[in-house]
């Protein structure tokens, strides 16, 4: 099977643009991180690039925004969301993308807030402290979900529009010139 390099470049470009959008002022947690990881998992498949692209894009934007303690927790969440993209989006549809965006928001919520509880010292290391951490984070979840849905629409919908405008971007072999 021939690799469609035009498609891969388009997908990687979309992931890079999504990472750049992290630099634009936005409401708390309304970012393209989850959607970018889902998109990578769905379209870059079972190859190391599916992980390297969103993690590399995150690293580049974090180099500009500033590194922070516990970064690895966010990167772990991104890695898990790539896996959600692999599993849930083997066939892409509006319903599957919406469900995967919900799953990615939940994964990010669970992982990032567990990290906050475990590493920050803001909460006692008890079951009650963990519950308190998750309860305190509930207001941020709505923005995470809204961001994942919004950016997933842009990324997945944008690729679909691009495939119609430029048939060489479609899945499989790039069309040969006549």
- 177 lies in a domain? no
- 178 lies in a domain? no
**Residue 9 lies in domain:** 5-169
Determine the Cα–Cα distance for residues 164 and 113; give it in Å rounded to an integer: 40
Output the tens digit of pLDDT for each of the chain's 178 residues: 688 999 999 999 999 999 999 999 999 999 999 999 999 999 998 789 999 999 999 999 999 999 998 899 999 999 999 999 999 999 999 999 999 999 999 999 999 999 999 999 999 999 999 999 999 999 999 999 999 999 999 999 999 999 999 999 998 644 444 3
CATH number of the domain within which 9 lies? 1.10.1760
pTM: 0.91
Determine the Cα–Cα distance for residues 173 and 7; give it in Å rounded to an integer: 9
Q: Contact 89/100 with Cβ under 8 angstroms?
A: yes
Q: Which helix (H) or strand (E) holds 90?
A: none
- 136 lies in a domain? yes
Q: How many folded domains does the chain comprise?
A: 1
């Amino acid at each position: 099977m021939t690799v469609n390099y035009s498609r891969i470049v388009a997908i990687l470009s979309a992931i890079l643009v999504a990472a750049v959008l992290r630099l634009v002022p936005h409401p708390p947690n309304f970012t393209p991180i989850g959607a970018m990881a889902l998109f990578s998992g769905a379209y870059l498949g079972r190859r190391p690039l599916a992980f390297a692209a969103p993690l590399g894009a995150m690293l580049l934007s974090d180099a500009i925004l500033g590194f922070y303690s516990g970064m690895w927790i966010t990167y772990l969440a991104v890695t898990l969301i790539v896996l959600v993209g692999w599993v849930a989006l083997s066939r892409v549809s509006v319903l599957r993308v919406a469900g995967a965006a919900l799953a990615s928001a939940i994964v990010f919520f669970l992982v990032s807030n567990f990290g906050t509880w475990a590493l920050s010292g803001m909460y006692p290391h008890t079951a009650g402290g963990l519950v308190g951490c998750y309860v305190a984070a509930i207001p941020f979840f709505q923005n995470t979900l809204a961001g994942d849905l919004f950016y997933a629409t842009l990324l997945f919908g944008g690729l679909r529009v691009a495939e119609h405008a430029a048939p060489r971007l479609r899945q499989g072999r790039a069309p040969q010139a006549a």
